[in-house]
Amino acid sequence: MKSISPSLILLTVLVLVGAFLNLYFVFAILALIIVFVGIVHFRQSGATMAIVSLAIVSLLAVGFFHTSPVVAVGAATYGIFRSFVVTISILATMLMIFLMREVGALQTISAAVKRAAQTKEQQALLLGVGFGTVATSLGVVTPSLFPPLLVAMGFSPFAAIAISVLGYNATTSYALLSIPLTLPADIFKLDLNELTFKVNIFLPVVAVLVSIAMLWIVGKGESVRKGIAPSILTGLTIGFSCLLLGILRTPVMLIGVLAGLVSMIVLYAYHRAVERPVPDKEPFNQRVTITALSPWLILIALALAISVPQVTDWLRRLDGPAFWIFDRPVDLDAFAQIYTWIFLATILSIPILRPTREQLAKTVNLWLRRIWQPFIAYSFFFGVAYVMAWSAMDVSNGKLVPTAQFAAMNMNNVVGFTLAAVFGASFVFVAPWLGLFGAVVGGSEASSNVLFFPIQHRAVEGIGLTGAGENSSAFMTIYGSHANGGGIASAITPSKINNGAATIGADAKMESEIMKSHVPLVLIITFIVGIMTALFVTLGI
């Protein structure tokens, strides 16, 4: 498949906007365009472009969008701290995986996976889609977790990074114990069950498309031909599992975990039923394998414990806001965040893994060298998202307040209203693209769902589909489409690609190649989600 040049995308956007004489729209999305061009054409790292992007969006906010410089600095700072739920989870996962690699645990797990799935296609689906869904739902950051394991299994560094940022995309809404859904539902007073349903109606199709895209990454048309049946089976299993679990009112924190486990069981059973297993050359050592898996097993137990709503609420009450930026509290909720428990699981596994003092020293030294790029990439992209959200605002008596120009000059408003004006009723086709845009800029679906909610609502309001308000069926369908677009974006989110590259020491050139290979796949899947959105809205689903 020929990759689509980001320059062509840039030109298309500029021509479209220029036709409607809205220069401010170009300025509002300029940071995203620069990120793509910088990574793909100039082969800069995600961390470098995150710094550049934050500087540019801050200057534009102050210079063109009536934003107080104090607000711009405060927004960037607030965004960086708000990113900690993701960034520190990445750092914690990297420490765990580096320790497991140093003591040989990854090699042991690699051998066990090869017994269960013997071809590259089977391994990619079982790990990248099935276990990727489970791990991501529990809060483990798979771009930190998978690349070293996949390299140990014989995948190329390119395939290892590509699989790690693509496989779990269909169920990104359930990442980090479902924060991408629970956070906007809490902030905007949405019906969580309704939001969950509206996200899930897309998943059977999206999960199948992601599974097929995974095979394309592994070995192009040949791998798709060899693995088309199990890829469809995997996608349908995950998609319909999420849909059924949601209808049954399963706690939302557990939906992704259970769906991923079901898909792994079904895929394993399929391989055993349809294909002849190759006889094992060496006996399976259960004790050694369980020892190698101990960090993950401990983490799963801890994550399931804190996923109980009563436990989560109690943990959040243990600490209050660390400080305030204007009138906005920065509440880290450290005891309730998954990163605390990833660190704890790593520490608890040390007596089981029994690393030597030299292995521990090597683990820590490698960790300290590798953490900075993904930390900068994620945290600064969060900063970009908050600068956009707080643009056209000022501070009065210590409170963040909209300026008189907020409605017309807030960067999110500009994007939303422009899209509504340009596309009119056809905006329903565009909704997932806005989710894609938001996740790439903000670094995650969670930030996109929260910070781009006002854009979606204003755009939908502009075409007269809000109905009874935020919880109207049409709007919730469109917002579910937005969430799916944000999940699909993980495959081309610079911070995630940079994170995966950092775990195996790949350079910026590798990041550029992965971005190029994923852009066409992401565009195709997002286009199909747009068609589904229009169909669901028309049918009143």
Are 495 and 503 in contact by the 8 Å Cβ rule? The answer is no
pLDDT tens digits for range 218-227: 888 899 998 9
Which element (helix H / strand E) includes 241? helix 203-247
Which amino acid is residue 239, in one-letter code? G
Question: What's phi and psi for 322, nearest 5 deg?
Answer: -70, -40
What local confidence, expressed as pLDDT, does residue 137 receive?
Answer: 84
What local confidence, expressed as pLDDT, does residue 280 receive?
Answer: 56
Are 191 and 185 in contact by the 8 Å Cβ rule? The answer is yes
- The answer, as to whether pTM is greater than 0.85, is no
Average pLDDT over residues 447-476: 74
What local confidence, expressed as pLDDT, does residue 77 receive?
Answer: 95
Name 286's Cβ contacts closer than 8 Å, sequence gap at least 6.
Answer: none
Per-residue DSSP letter, 490: G
Residue 19 pLDDT exceeds 60: no
Average pLDDT over residues 114-137: 85
Which element (helix H / strand E) includes 371? none
Rounded-to-integer distance, Cα 73 and Cα 52, Å: 15
pLDDT tens digits for range 362-371: 999 989 988 8
What local confidence, expressed as pLDDT, does residue 4 receive?
Answer: 47
Q: What are 400's strand-pairing partners?
A: 395
Residue 18 pLDDT exceeds 50: no
What local confidence, expressed as pLDDT, does residue 305 receive?
Answer: 84
Higher-confidence residue: 4 or 414?
Answer: 414
Rounded-to-integer distance, Cα 486 and Cα 522, Å: 11
Treating both helix axes as pointing N-terminal to C-terminal, what angle do 427-442 and 453-462 enclose, rounded to 10 degrees? 160
What local confidence, expressed as pLDDT, does residue 276 receive?
Answer: 63
Higher-confidence residue: 356 or 83?
Answer: 356
Of the pLDDT bands very low, low, confident and very high (cuts 50, 70, 90), residue 7 is: very low
Per-residue DSSP letter, 496: H
pLDDT tens digits for range 417-450: 787 777 887 888 888 988 887 787 666 788 788 7
Name 245's Cβ contacts closer than 8 Å, sequence gap at least 6.
Answer: 254, 255, 258, 259
- What percentage of the chain reaches a pLDDT higher than 90? 34
pLDDT tens digits for range 492-533: 888 788 878 888 888 778 888 888 889 899 999 999 999 999
For CA atoms 218, 162, 111, 262, the dihedral sign is negative
Question: What's phi and psi for 466, nearest 5 deg?
Answer: -70, -20
Average pLDDT over residues 55-67: 95
Window from 24-28, 319-323, 404-408, 451-455 with minimum mean pLDDT: 451-455
Window from 27-36, 97-106, 339-348, 387-396 with minimum mean pLDDT: 27-36
For the chain, the straight-line distance linking the first and the last C-alpha, in angstroms and rounded, comes to 34
Rounded-to-integer distance, Cα 157 and Cα 129, Å: 18
What local confidence, expressed as pLDDT, does residue 11 receive?
Answer: 47
Query: Among 93, 300, 348, which residue's Cα sits nearest to residue 177?
Result: 300
Of the pLDDT bands very low, low, confident and very high (cuts 50, 70, 90), residue 296 is: confident
Q: How many CB atoms lie within 10 A of CB 42?
A: 12
Query: Among 444, 464, 453, which residue's Cα sits nearest to residue 413?
Result: 453
Instruction: Give the mean pLDDT of the chain.
Output: 85
What local confidence, expressed as pLDDT, does residue 294 receive?
Answer: 93
What local confidence, expressed as pLDDT, does residue 284 receive?
Answer: 65
